Structure 1
């Protein structure tokens, strides 16, 4: 029996394991409840990619595909969302928009990925889309679940 345990441990740590590792956020209790509801409502596929949640397992994080589209619920408000030193719409790396009734702040990342954070919702939901993926498809696929479970409002 110990041999099987060693093999399972080694298999889980192999270099072929391309699952993402993500730190779950630590929101307050009310937002955690919203995030748990969102987790239950998330689609099985995003942009044609099957759901493959990152480690450690958490109702506050979800993932699809590899490289993964990663969702984190209950994140802090991004600094660029309220930066008083940057006039609205003047930051080339941060743009606001709406997809299917959900407002988003889009931020270009240094590695070519895009990070989207919900705006005007009772909790902040962040979606990170790798640079080689269609970010609009991910936002379209996730909008209904966000609208259904994270009410409009201003997050704390």
Structure 2
């Protein structure tokens, strides 16, 4: 139980989302490996301006690997590490040809897997995860090739 809490706290601290009041939304940017950095930049540039009714907003610090919509209601980080709680035997749902890992202990955090880079998406409960993930599938497939 302490391990689960520690992992949740680490995720909550690393994201630091939902702290912006009227300005840029604070999201800790990831540091993708050099092989994924350009693909992550292309992904973020190709993301929609509106996602599940939320408009895209600025993040702080500014990063080519981060996108935020609404008042931090939806946040995307490209080039994050592999989820530590994902086992090789975990089955993950596939939505429009993009596989998404979600730990039951973190029901609003989704990570795309099986691509050149891991993409982490935090979705507030005021949005429908399936709608958001469907809308993100095309840009992810365009920017991040599948891995073996």
Superposition TM-score tier, normalisation by shorter sequence: 0.7 to 0.9
How far apart in 1 are the matches of 2:90 and 2:100? 14
Rg larger in 1 or in 2? 1
Q: Matched residue pairs, number?
A: 129
2: CA distance, partners of 1:100 / 1:43: 16
Give the counterpart of 2:101 among 101, 105, 114.
Answer: 105
Tell me the TM-score normalised to structure 1 length. Answer: 0.75
- TM alignment of 1:118-129, pairs within 5 A: 118-129=112-123
Contact 1:75 1:124 in 2 (8 A): yes
User: 1:66, CA displacement in angstroms?
Assistant: 2.0
Look up the match of 1:54: 59
The CA RMSD over aligned residues, in Å, is 2.0
Q: Is the 8 A contact 2:73 2:126 kept in 1?
A: no
| Distance change >3 Å, CA 151–CA 82, structure 1 → 2 | same
Q: Is it true that 1:75 corresponds to 2:80 in the alignment?
A: yes
Which runs of no fewer than 5 residues in structure 2 stay unpaired? Answer: 1-19
Deviations 1:125-151 (A, max 9, x none): 000001221111110111100000011
d(CA) in 1 for partners of 2:25, 2:31? 19
Cα distance, 1:79 vs structure 2: 1.1
- The alignment's TM-score, normalised by the length of structure 2, stands at 0.79
1:11-37 per-position Cα deviation (integer Å, ceiling 9, x unaligned): xxxx84264201100111111111011
Deviation at 1:108, TM superposition (A): 4.3
Q: Do the aligned partners of residues 141 and 82 (structure 1) sit closer, same or farther apart at CA in structure 2, a change above 3 Å counting?
A: same
Contact 1:60 1:74 in 2 (8 A): yes
Equivalent of 2:90 in 84, 88, 91: 88
Contact 1:108/1:115 (8 A) holds in 2: no
Note the C-alpha offset of 1:68.
2.1
Task: Give the 4+ runs in structure 1 shifted more than 3 A.
Answer: none
